[in-house]
Structure 1
Amino acid sequence: MRVEAWLLSAGVLFFVPLGIVYGYVAEWEPVGTVGFFLLGGMFALAGGYMWLTARRVSPRPEDNPTADIEERAGDVGTFAPHSWWPFVMGVGVAIAFLGVAIGWWLTGIGAIIALVAVAGQLTEFSRGLHAH
């Protein structure tokens, strides 16, 4: 997790000075300047979370530069063998964005379909064939 923490923390060191330079060059134009500072803040939040998590969990084989491939072997997680919910979610989001061009009423229908798909995906392992 240390590599991820360094990578995300480097975003702060890039975007905050870039925001200062952009603000100076663009005469403190509010939208771009604030956008760069918020982007630096986003990287600070993600990098800080990774630093805190890296301190709490034990080092992974990926964190050891002399580790062998065999050290990472084993169970990675639980994955659904097949699921229609991502497809339904994609259709709902596509209908919602299509509603911006056709009519706002269609956006509501697409949002409802997408929310049902999110609920279905979240509860997929709570019922049915793959229930835990």
Structure 2
Amino acid sequence: MRVQAFMFYGCAIFFLITDIVYWLWSKEWTGTTALALSVGLAGLIGFYIHFTIRRLEKANNGPLYEDDPDGEIVQAAGEVGFFSPHSWWPLFVAASAACITLGLVFGWWLVVFGIAATLLSCIGLVFEYYRGHFQH
């Protein structure tokens, strides 16, 4: 998976060269800033992937199965993660965020209500599996 990190490093270098050429030809701040942010984002993702893979290789005592030329698909088997079977909380988070947006149009009292509702619904979303039927 180290290839993915170098792909993002390559994107960062490409965006950097493009940013320099764009600035020299156009002298326009908006596009130059957007390309500079693209350099930072691609570099950040490449950095994260690169060092996450290094940490995983140390924990695995060798290369990951993706990097092993003799690796088998069976080596990738196992638990991928926990995925929620169903949840109503994202609906409440979206409704309270919409309440904040409507509050910016119609009145600040609705923004205050929307912020309180967003905080409560985010807490409900985060702690959904700490209580009740689906507790683990």
What amino acid maps onto 1:93 in structure 2? A
Asked if 1:5 corresponds to 2:9, the answer is no
Matched with 1:57 is 56
Change (3 A) 1:108 1:10: farther
Separation (CA, whole Å) in 1 of partners of 2:117 and 2:69: 46
* Max Rg structure: 2
Query: Counterpart in 1 of 2:135?
Result: 131
Counterpart secondary structure, 1:57? helix
Aligned pairs (5 A) from 1:10-29:
10-27=10-27, 29=28
Q: Which stretch shifts more, 97-106 or 39-48?
A: 97-106
- Residue type of the alignment partner of 2:8: L
In structure 2, do the counterparts of structure 1 residues 120 and 31 end up closer, same or farther at CA, with 3 Å as the change threshold?
A: same
Match of 2:107 in 1: 103
- In the alignment, which residue of structure 2 is the partner of 1:115? 119
> TM-score of the superposition, structure 1-length normalised?
0.79
Going from structure 1 to structure 2, the CA distance change for 1:20 and 1:68 (only over 3 Å counts) comes to same
Distance in 1 separating the partners of 2:51 and 2:73: 26
Q: Which runs of 5+ in 1 are unaligned?
A: none
SS, match of residue 76 in structure 1: coil
Alignment root-mean-square deviation, CA: 2.3
In percent, how many aligned pairs have the same letter? 38
Q: Could you tell me how far apart the structure 2 residues matched to 1:9 and 1:34 are?
A: 19
Structure 2 unaligned residues grouped into runs of 5+: 58-62
State the shift of 1:71 in Å. 2.7
CA contact (8 A) 1:3 1:63 kept: no
Deviates more, 1:84-93 or 1:108-117: 108-117
